[in-house]
């Protein structure tokens, strides 16, 4: 059986991997656990509690809430309290209430049919199911700022922060709703009632310091690489890149660098990852778009991005107008037998994700330093998507 001389377990570099110990987020985990731990004493009288978690991408928000969920579930089960903590990534589960509530219902009551029910009816079914089965729940909604910016029906915040008012004659067995966002900019889209229900207080996740970043990367490297494969020079260099304003503390970018540099070292047959490998990978992959972003892109989003890149190359400038993007995107999509694209909606979405910048309808630019590498990656991704059909 093939054994890598570079990697011990490359999965440990995946952004999806949750380490057993979450470094430098102990305070936040402890605060979350303490907020809800009193459920064990008197769950029926524990009030619906609304929390917000705010902080930039890649600084441990998701890992923290998943770790908190494991700790709290274990503590409550010791007291024979049946609790279900549901984590929902709103980027992945749809941009409307119906899709989100259907997913929520399927997590809590998978045996209940959702077909034919309205979004509000699904919430009622969920609340009744929890009472009938003597269950309790906490709902965690990640990327709420993304949903609010792209969605025209923002009533989800009003609904979920007032679950205890759906039927005042019944108790509410949802004990917490936690919203996760990258910043508080989405407040501007909310009305006064929603802001009042949600509140303006939040748990802040600050960027890691350079020392904390180094410690996190050393731990991940020990889990992922064979001994003596990663030197301190590499950790130090990557840590400086990560804390720079350009990357803004995103640990996931550091994991991409380590993973791809390890692949390069392996393909070249070297016994160690060299700093030159990391620098070369950094120059290739930094384009403002992470692997996570690319994996989440729909085919339509990829068509539009490829249309932007093609237009930029044809015009040989740093920006392009909407008409050109529409023309190039549709031309590319038709090669894959896709006849219709909602280009404007997709552009708004990409701008919200900070993938592109819209100065005006005549000045739309790609936030990228290497469109050649991005283009190759996107073509490979779209070809793979259609080959698998």
Question: What is the per-residue pLDDT across 122-148, written as a single tens digit (0 to 9) for each?
Answer: 999 999 999 999 999 999 999 998 888
Q: How far apart are CA 32 and CA 171, in angstroms?
A: 23
Q: Look at the domain 207-286 and name its fold.
A: Helicase, Ruva Protein; domain 3 (1.10.8)
Domain with residues 42-204, CATH architecture = 3-Layer(aba) Sandwich (3.40)
Query: Is-contact 337 314, C-beta < 8 A?
Result: no
Count of C-beta atoms within a 10 Å radius of residue 220? 22
Which of 164, 136, 140 shows the shortest CA–CA distance to 79? 136
Query: Is-contact 381 297, C-beta < 8 A?
Result: yes
Residues of the chain with CATH 1.10.10.10: 292-387
Tell me if residue 360 falls in helix, strand or coil.
Answer: strand
Residues of the chain with CATH 3.40.50.300: 42-204
What stretches in the chain show pLDDT beneath 50? Answer: none
pLDDT score recorded for residue 114 = 82
pLDDT score recorded for residue 246 = 66
Q: Look at the domain 292-387 and name its fold.
A: Arc Repressor Mutant, subunit A (1.10.10)
Pairing mode, if any, of strands 174-181 and 203-204? unpaired
Tell me if residue 273 falls in helix, strand or coil.
Answer: coil
Tell me if residue 276 falls in helix, strand or coil.
Answer: helix
Q: How far apart are CA 303 and CA 357, in angstroms?
A: 17
**366 is written with which tokens?**
């790609």
Residues of the chain with CATH 1.10.8.60: 207-286
For 279-338, the pLDDT digits (tens) are 988 877 765 676 667 888 899 999 999 999 999 888 888 889 999 999 999 999 999 999
Q: What is the pTM of this model?
A: 0.78
Query: Is-contact 226 8, C-beta < 8 A?
Result: yes
Query: Is-contact 296 57, C-beta < 8 A?
Result: no
pLDDT score recorded for residue 230 = 97
Q: How far apart are CA 347 and CA 341, in angstroms?
A: 11
Chain-centroid distance of CA 305 in Å reads 20
Chain-centroid distance of CA 89 in Å reads 6
Query: Is-contact 7 266, C-beta < 8 A?
Result: yes
Q: How far apart are CA 253 and CA 267, in angstroms?
A: 21
Query: Is-contact 205 64, C-beta < 8 A?
Result: yes
C-alpha dist (Å) from residue 196 to 48, 108, 309: 14, 27, 43
Q: How far apart are CA 364 and CA 371, in angstroms?
A: 15
């Amino acid at each position: 059986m093939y054994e890598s001389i570079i990697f011990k377990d490359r999965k440990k570099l995946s952004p999806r991997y949750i380490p057993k110990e979450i470094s430098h987020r102990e305070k936040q985990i402890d605060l979350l656990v303490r907020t809800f731990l009193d459920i064990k004493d008197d769950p029926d009288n524990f009030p619906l509690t609304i929390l917000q978690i705010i902080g930039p991408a890649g600084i441990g928000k998701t890992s923290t809430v998943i770790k908190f969920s494991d700790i709290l579930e274990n503590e409550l089960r010791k007291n024979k309290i049946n609790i279900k903590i549901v984590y929902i990534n709103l980027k992945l589960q749809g941009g409307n209430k119906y899709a989100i509530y259907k997913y929520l219902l399927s997590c809590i009551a998978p045996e209940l049919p959702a077909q034919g029910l309205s979004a509000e009816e699904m919430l009622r079914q969920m609340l009744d199911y929890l009472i009938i089965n003597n269950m309790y729940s906490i709902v965690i909604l990640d990327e709420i700022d993304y949903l609010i910016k792209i969605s025209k029906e923002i009533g989800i915040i009003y609904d979920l922060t007032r679950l205890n008012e759906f039927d005042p004659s019944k108790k509410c067995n949802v004990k917490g709703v936690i919203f996760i966002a990258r910043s508080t900019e989405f407040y501007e889209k909310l009305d006064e009632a929603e802001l009042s229900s949600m509140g303006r207080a939040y748990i802040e996740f600050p960027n890691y310091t350079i020392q904390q970043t180094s410690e996190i990367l050393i731990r991940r490297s020990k889990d992922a690489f064979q001994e003596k494969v990663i030197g301190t020079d590499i950790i130090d260099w990557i840590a400086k890149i990560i804390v720079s304003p350009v990357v803004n503390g995103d640990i996931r970018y550091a994991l991409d660098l380590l993973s791809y540099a390890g692949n390069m070292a392996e393909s070249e047959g070297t016994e160690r990852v060299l700093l030159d490998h990391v620098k070369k990978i950094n120059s290739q992959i930094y384009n403002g778009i992470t692997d996570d972003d690319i994996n989440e892109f729909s085919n339509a989003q990829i068509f539009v991005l490829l249309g932007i890149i093609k237009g930029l190359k044809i015009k040989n400038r740093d920006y392009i107008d909407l008409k050109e993007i529409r023309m190039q995107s549709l031309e590319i999509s038709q090669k894959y037998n896709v006849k219709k694209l909602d280009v404007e909606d997709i552009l708004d979405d990409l701008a919200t994700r900070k993938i592109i910048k819209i100065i005006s309808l005549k000045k739309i630019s790609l936030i990228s330093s290497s469109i050649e590498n991005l283009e190759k990656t996107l073509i490979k991704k779209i070809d793979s998507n259609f080959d698998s059909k």
